[in-house]
C-alpha cells in the first residue's frame, strides 16, 4: 500500500494530475544506464537519472535528495513540495 506522509494518496495524485501536463517524462534506455555507470558519483541511480537529464537537455530535476546531485553541474534541483512546485512551473 502506498503511504505518503505529507499528503494522502488521493491528494498527491490530484496535485500531480494538475502539474503533469507541464512536465516531460523521459524514457530510460540501455545506453542511459551505461552512461550513468560511467559517472563517478557514488549513487548509481542518481547517475542514471542525470544521464537521462543530459540526454533530454533538462533544465531541472525533481528529487528528494538534492544533496545527491551537487556534482551534476548547472542542473536546477527541485524538491517535491507540491504546493511550491506548482507555483514554480505555472
Q: Could you give the CA distance from residue 38 to residue 48 in angstroms, rounded to a whole number?
A: 9
Domain boundaries, the chain: 9-89
Confidence (pLDDT) at 65: 79
DSSP state letters, the chain: ----SSS-HHHHHHHHHHHGGGS-PPP--HHHHHHHHHS-SS-HHHHHHHHHHHHHT-SEEE-S-GGGGTTSTT-EEE---HHHHHHHH-
pTM for this model (two decimals): 0.62
Most confidently predicted of 17-21, 29-33, 67-71, 74-78: 29-33
Amino acid at each position: 500500500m502506498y503511504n505518503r506522509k505529507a499528503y494522502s494518496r488521493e491528494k498527491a495524485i490530484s496535485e500531480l494530475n494538475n502539474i503533469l501536463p507541464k512536465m516531460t517524462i523521459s524514457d530510460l534506455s540501455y545506453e542511459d544506464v551505461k552512461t550513468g555507470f560511467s559517472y563517478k558519483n557514488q549513487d548509481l541511480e542518481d547517475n542514471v537519472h542525470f544521464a537521462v537529464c543530459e540526454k533530454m537537455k533538462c533544465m531541472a530535476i525533481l528529487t528528494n535528495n538534492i544533496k545527491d546531485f551537487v556534482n551534476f553541474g548547472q542542473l536546477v534541483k527541485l524538491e517535491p513540495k507540491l504546493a511550491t512546485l506548482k507555483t514554480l512551473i505555472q
